[in-house]
């Protein structure tokens, strides 16, 4: 466990890059479908109940939300994608904000891709993985809500996702995670440490 992540503080919400904090230091962005448990994962990893908003209505994260971990390190909560009930114009706006951020943000050094362990590798997850390949960004996948599966089923899902992504042209790691049970937190902290450390060596 890395207690530095518990110091996370909200900086601001940005509808586009021009409203983002200065582009220096290092950032890890959290991406995922709007019902995959992204906000819950962020709160669990920072040991804060309300750092990222949690709503019974998916799709509440509609801007780029920036959080300071230290003076030179940040988390970014990207708009949840694939929310079916959102108007098309809004979904296109979210997608544009994500693409602009991933293509132009120099401090971005890695992506944490959050997937529901019961429904991994959706069409939207593949789209995000292709964006990461294009941007040459390493990815760490959190298979969230693993507590909803039996131990055997969760392990099988992990192995299946690892196998399906074994030929990825970018550094890619996968783990099981549960915000409810607080399981997988240490492993996720180690992955975050590694992403920041690798970028710091460049």
In this predicted model, what pLDDT tens digit does every residue of 95-141 receive, in sequence order?
Answer: 788 888 999 999 999 999 999 999 999 988 998 999 999 999 999 99
Residue 119 belongs to domain spanning: 3-201
Measured CA to CA, the distance from residue 180 to residue 170 in angstroms comes to 30
pLDDT reported for residue 94: 75
DSSP letters along 129-154, please?
HHHHHHHT--EEEEEE-GGGS-HHHH
* pLDDT confidence bin for 83, thresholds 50/70/90: low
Q: What is the mean pLDDT of residues 48-55?
A: 73
Asked if residue 81 has pLDDT above 80, the reply is no
Quick one: what percent of the chain has pLDDT higher than 90?
Answer: 69
Asked if residue 84 has pLDDT above 60, the reply is no
Measured CA to CA, the distance from residue 192 to residue 30 in angstroms comes to 11
Give 160 or 53, the one with higher predicted confidence: 160
Q: Are 129 and 102 in contact (CB under 8 A)?
A: no
Domain count, the chain: 1
* pLDDT confidence bin for 157, thresholds 50/70/90: very high
CATH number at residue 103: 3.40.50.300
Asked if residue 163 has pLDDT above 80, the reply is yes
Asked if residue 87 has pLDDT above 80, the reply is no
Strand partners, 114: 32, 142
Give 28 or 17, the one with higher predicted confidence: 28
Q: Are 16 and 65 in contact (CB under 8 A)?
A: no
pLDDT reported for residue 55: 46
* pLDDT confidence bin for 57, thresholds 50/70/90: very low
Query: Among the listed ranges 2-6, 20-24, 152-156, 171-175, which one has the minimum average pLDDT value?
Result: 2-6
Q: What is the mean pLDDT of the chain?
A: 89
């Amino acid at each position: 466990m890395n207690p530095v992540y518990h110091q996370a503080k909200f900086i601001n919400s940005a509808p586009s890059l021009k409203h983002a904090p200065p582009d220096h230091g290092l950032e890890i962005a959290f991406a995922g479908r709007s019902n995959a448990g992204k906000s819950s994962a962020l709160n669990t990893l920072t040991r804060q109940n309300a750092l990222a908003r949690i709503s019974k209505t998916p799709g509440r994260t509609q801007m780029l939300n920036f959080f300071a971990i230290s003076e030179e390190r940040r988390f970014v909560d990207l708009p949840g994608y694939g929310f079916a009930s959102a108007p098309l114009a809004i979904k296109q706006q979210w997608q544009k904000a994500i693409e602009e951020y991933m293509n132009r943000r120099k401090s971005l050094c890695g992506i944490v891709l959050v997937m529901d362990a019961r429904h991994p590798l959706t069409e939207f997850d593949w789209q995000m993985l292709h964006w990461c390949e294009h941007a040459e960004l390493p990815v760490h996948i959190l298979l969230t809500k693993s507590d909803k599966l039996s131990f055997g089923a969760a392990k099988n899902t992990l192995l299946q996702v690892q196998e399906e992504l074994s030929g990825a042209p970018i550094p890619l790691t996968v783990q099981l995670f549960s915000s409810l049970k607080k399981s997988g937190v240490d492993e996720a902290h180690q992955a975050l440490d590694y992403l920041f450390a690798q970028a710091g060596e460049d």
